[in-house]
């Protein structure tokens, strides 16, 4: 029988930890919120001995105060005891976090004398090392609760106690900023831009005419072939490392044409040739098309 999976949920206050825990509960995980890290090892032992438990999720963050300092040593203990675990780290940009706190009217756990910005920055610094250890980082800045739920469900759905590996392909526009949770970022702005073709400007990379235009150029064909070869080599390395998901971002100027074509093409290749589970997200299509109006 496969050992139950243990997921440590952490991240910035206001980034969606509570919503994440609800998702894990719905997925069948046994969940505990704000557990002191020095009790995590004992909890993990109990989970390992419980045949009816297929997975457990622990939310641990700066609310633990002085106890939170023990988290890294607890993770080392898990590794030494060969207890399988994953770390999910949730974050969001400062502007989004401030907006969420204003809506909720709650105080930040590190807030003193009403200085929310300083508390957010202190928390980010405190959690910097843990973020570096995370297996999955999700930036919730532009995500709805439903989108966050879908992301977590896709990555952490229990399948016989084993987390399914997935490649997430994200197209984006550099003018709107880099995806913060990307593991790999590729820039295809050097390819001919359909934006400057009148008949193609208002279309997207999902339209066959745009796909055909982008891929008619030998440079685009060679680029795609080289990216396919690189991902063929890299994805097994990520799997061997134990990552449940790798996020590959494809960027062009506005995130409307070239990056969309390449994300779609790579998705087809990874699914058909490598048999991988692939999720495609065209992050900036709505913004790009709105700018055209």
pLDDT tens column, 66-103 = 556 667 777 777 766 677 788 899 998 888 888 888 78
Residue 29 has pLDDT above 90, yes or no: no
The structure tokens listed for 75 are: 């993770």
**What fold, for 5-163?**
Rossmann fold (3.40.50)
The structure tokens listed for 101 are: 């706190």
Segment 187-192 mean pLDDT: 97
Q: What string of DSSP letters covers 71-90?
A: HHHHHHHHHHTT--EEEEEE
In percent, the amount of the chain with pLDDT more than 70 equals 88
Confidence band of 18 (pLDDT split at 50, 70, 90): confident
Residue 1 has pLDDT above 50, yes or no: no
Sheet holding 166-173, edge to edge: 184-187, 245-252, 166-173, 277-282
b/e map 215-238, b = 16+ CB within 10 Å: beeeebeebbeebbeebeeebeeb
pLDDT of residue 81: 67
Measured CA distances, 194 to 158, 203, 266, 293 (Å): 42, 9, 19, 17
Confidence band of 162 (pLDDT split at 50, 70, 90): very low
Higher pLDDT, 6 or 211: 211
The residues spanned by each domain of the chain are: 5-163, 166-292
Highest mean pLDDT (candidates 156-165, 199-208, 240-249): 199-208
Segment 160-182 mean pLDDT: 82
pLDDT of residue 50: 75
Residue 17: name the closest of 67, 61, 78 by CA.
Answer: 61
Would you call 159 helix, strand, or coil by DSSP? strand
pLDDT of residue 290: 59
pLDDT of residue 189: 97
pLDDT of residue 143: 85
Among 178-182, 197-201, 259-263, the least confident range: 178-182
pLDDT of residue 3: 63
């Amino acid at each position: 029988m496969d050992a139950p999976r243990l997921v440590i949920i952490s991240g910035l206050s206001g980034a969606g930890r509570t919503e994440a825990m609800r998702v894990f509960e719905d997925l069948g995980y046994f969940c505990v919120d704000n557990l002191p890290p020095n009790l995590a090892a004992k909890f993990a032992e109990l989970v390992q001995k419980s045949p009816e438990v297929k997975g457990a999720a622990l939310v641990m963050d700066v609310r633990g105060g002085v106890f939170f300092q023990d988290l890294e040593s607890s993770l080392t203990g898990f590794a030494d005891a060969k207890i399988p675990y994953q770390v999910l780290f949730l974050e969001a940009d400062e502007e989004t976090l401030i907006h969420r706190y204003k809506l909720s009217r709650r105080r930040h756990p590190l807030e003193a004398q009403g200085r929310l910005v300083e508390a957010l920055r202190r928390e980010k610094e405190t959690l910097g090392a843990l973020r570096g250890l995370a297996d999955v980082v999700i930036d919730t800045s532009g995500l709805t609760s439903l989108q966050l739920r879908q992301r977590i469900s896709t990555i952490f759905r229990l399948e016989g106690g084993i987390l399914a590996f997935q490649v997430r392909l994200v197209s984006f526009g550099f003018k709107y900023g880099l995806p913060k949770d990307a593991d790999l970022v590729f820039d295809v702005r050097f390819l001919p831009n359909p934006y400057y073709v009148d008949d193609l400007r208002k279309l997207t990379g999902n339209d066959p005419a745009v796909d055909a235009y982008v891929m008619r150029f030998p440079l685009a064909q060679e680029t795609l072939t080289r990216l396919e070869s690189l991902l063929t080599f890299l994805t097994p390395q990520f799997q061997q490392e134990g990552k449940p998901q790798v996020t590959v971002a494809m960027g062009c100027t506005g995130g409307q044409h070239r990056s969309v074509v390449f994300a779609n093409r790579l998705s087809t290749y990874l699914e058909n040739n490598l048999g991988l589970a692939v999720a495609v997200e065209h992050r900036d299509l709505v913004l790009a098309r709105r700018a055209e109006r």
